[in-house]
Amino acid sequence: MAIKRAHSEIDSRELAIEEFFVNEEPFYVAVADEIELFDSAYRLRLPIMLKGPTGCGKTRFLAHMAWRLSLPLVTIACHEDLTASDLVGRFLLKGHETTWSDGPLSLAVKHGAICYLDEVVEARKDTTVVIHPLTDDRRMLPQEKKGVVLEAHPNFLLVISYNPGYQSVTKDLKQSTRQRFVAIDFNYPPAEKEQAILMSEGGVDRETAVRLVRLGEMVRNLRQHGLEEGVSTRLLVYAAKLISAGHDTRQACTAAVTQAMTDDPEMQETIDEIVSGLF
Ligand code: ADP
């Protein structure tokens, strides 16, 4: 499944909205009533915050929803150097002429796409502010450098993702931003659903999937003993894929879980012991 990401770097090529449609159904196992909730929020055009730890299915869910709703999905991975111009657009010098180039947010606003700001806390606060007028009744985006204001297409929806786990005081979502979104809470899928995901995504048999899910649960419990975050479904899928590719199970778990999770030798030993107990 190819999900198009909008690059925020200066790109002389104009972005074309057609490239952002999700053509094939992304495999997604619903965990609770998130599909219904998203549907309603979309109908009401309420901006949405997908909340939850890394690798628990937020991005996959959104791709699935974009496909269900037949909407283009413009994804922007936020980082600290992301400027408002990267989102909105800028004048570019082409030969002797300057031409305006829309940024990915403007593209989504104009064409009625879902705009997904992934890991929004990573963006600088002054960048975050540009989304504010899009999140209330105004539904507009000022293109200040161009001196125009875009009115959002009726289909436009803003979605952000946010991991409450590893926010520091200096890098938290401001209340003035977060209180503009309805939140859909995500967590690691319950055992049976995670098993189904590992079988489908990772290509392992039920027995192996059951053990990997157990590994996930046990490693997640280590959070009470100093592990920063639990093991993601994503990493369990990686382990499953390595096993399907013919790697020894323990080796696959060490590579995809133990070493990927931590650099702390004692914690590594603990996780490897769990792996040896299960496989
Ligand atoms: P996030 O955006 O929360 O960091 P992703 O959506 O990228 O995480 O999920 C990571 C991977 O885990 C996906 O690529 C997919 O393989 C798997 N996954 C997690 N949850 C689900 C789910 N509910 N249905 C299907 N696949 C899932």
Q: What is the ipTM of this complex?
A: 0.99
pLDDT at residue number 10: 43
Residue ranges for the chain with pLDDT beneath 50: 8-12
Ligand 1 mean position, distance from CA 35 (Å): 15
pLDDT at residue number 7: 52
Rounded to whole angstroms, the Cα distance separating 246 from 225 reads: 33
pLDDT at residue number 73: 98
Give the residue, out of 197, 212, 232, 242, with the most ligand 1 atoms within 8 A of its beta carbon, to mutate for a pocket test.
Answer: 197
Q: Say if ligand 1 is within 6 A of residue 72 CB.
A: no
pLDDT at residue number 128: 87
pLDDT at residue number 5: 61
DSSP for the chain, written as a single string: ----B---S--SSPP-GGGG---SPPP----SSHHHHHHHHHHTT--EEEE--TTSSHHHHHHHHHHHTT--EEEEE--TT--HHHHHEEEEEETTEEEEEE-HHHHHHHHT-EEEEETGGGS-HHHHGGGGGGSSTT-EEEETTTTEEEEPPTT-EEEEEE-GGG--GGGS--HHHHTTSEEEE--PPPHHHHHHHHHHHH---HHHHHHHHHHHHHHHHGGGGT-SSPPPHHHHHHHHHHHHTT--HHHHHIIIIIHHH---HHHHHHHHHHHHHH-
Please give the number of the atom of ligand 1 that sits closest to the Cα of 27: 25
pLDDT at residue number 167: 60
Please give the number of the atom of ligand 1 that sits closest to the Cα of 26: 25
Q: What's the pTM value of the predicted model, to 2 decimals?
A: 0.93
pLDDT at residue number 9: 45
